[in-house]
Amino acid sequence: MKLTLYQVDAFARQPFEGNPAAVCPLDEWLSDEMMQNIAMENNLSETAFFVKRESDYRLRWFTPATEVDLCGHATLATSHVIFDHLGYDRDVINFDTNSGRLKIRKEGDRIVMNFPASEVNPVEVPDVLEDAVGLPPQELYKDTDYLYVLENEEQLRNLDPDIRLMKEADARGIIATAPGDDVDFVSRFFAPAVGVDEDPVTGSAHTMLTPFWSSRLGKEKLVGRQISKRGGTVYCMMMGDRVELGGYAFTVLQGEMSI
């Protein structure tokens, strides 16, 4: 059996930037075990699988280790494939996902994703988390992930966390963030518990970053930069209990996988 497979750099205008995701269109679902094996074989932070239905698409995401309920960069990559490679002639894509219905639209070359906003709840700092990060936070919040707020961009760039200890944190991942020097805010994202030591650009993390920085800075439109080695820019809009996340994508590979 042969499957078409795309590799797309999400939140990037050119190759070798942003966050690479694999995208696999399906006519019908494979077994969970097979999709997990394909994601492990791809060895990217996410592989997205989708099946077309009458008026929308069902979308699922897998890391090399497990299925996850929401992935922003792989949603952006999937939307790019549908818009640019599969002859989709409408401006809006509707995805049915484990995180509910997601509406994606195209504005010129930019793809804009509408996601539910995450809650931003203050919590006490677990000793293991502070030991793992290597310095205390200014503030700490938690929803699916921890939001670990630092004083400035320099601190964030210089972080050298203990990835092994981070696995012990009771969360999907740790979003470290600080005010940006040239953008509204900067971030890094660590999720070794789901097989991703440091993610290059994390759309789902911005569902928590956007409400936090929108409240902190008193503005609805923000620009965030994830300052991983590859780096990527996310254009954010706070909309009540939803957030809009915009970015660009670039296809670097198209081929077939034999299974």
What is the mean pLDDT, run by run of 10 residues, along the chain of 259 residues? 96 95 97 98 95 95 91 95 94 94 93 94 95 96 97 98 94 96 98 88 94 98 96 96 96 96
The domain limits of the chain are 2-114+246-258, 121-240
In this prediction, residue 54 carries a pLDDT of 87
Strand pairing class (242-247; 249-258): unpaired
Closest by CA to 206, choosing from 180, 191, 225, is: 225
In this prediction, residue 227 carries a pLDDT of 97
In this prediction, residue 173 carries a pLDDT of 94
Question: Residue 111 pairs with which residues in a beta bridge?
Answer: 106, 247
Question: Do 118 and 207 contact (CB within 8 A), yes or no?
Answer: yes
Class of domain 121-240: alpha beta
Six token digits for residue 21: 């995701």
Cα separation, 212 vs 197, in Å, equals 24
In this prediction, residue 70 carries a pLDDT of 87
**Active site (annotated) includes residue 46:** yes
In this prediction, residue 196 carries a pLDDT of 84
Of these residues, 17, 46, 198, 244, which one is catalytic?
46
Beta strands (DSSP E) in the chain are 2-10, 19-26, 47-52, 57-62, 67-68, 92-97, 100-107, 110-116, 121-122, 139-142, 146-149, 174-179, 185-191, 196-199, 221-226, 232-239, 242-247, 249-258
Task: Establish whether domains 2-114+246-258 and 121-240 are of one fold.
Answer: yes
Q: Is CATH 3.10.310.10 the right assignment for the domain spanning 2-114+246-258?
A: yes
In this prediction, residue 59 carries a pLDDT of 98
In this prediction, residue 33 carries a pLDDT of 98
In this prediction, residue 187 carries a pLDDT of 98
Distance of CA 34 to the CA centre of its chain: 23
In this prediction, residue 110 carries a pLDDT of 95
In this prediction, residue 86 carries a pLDDT of 95
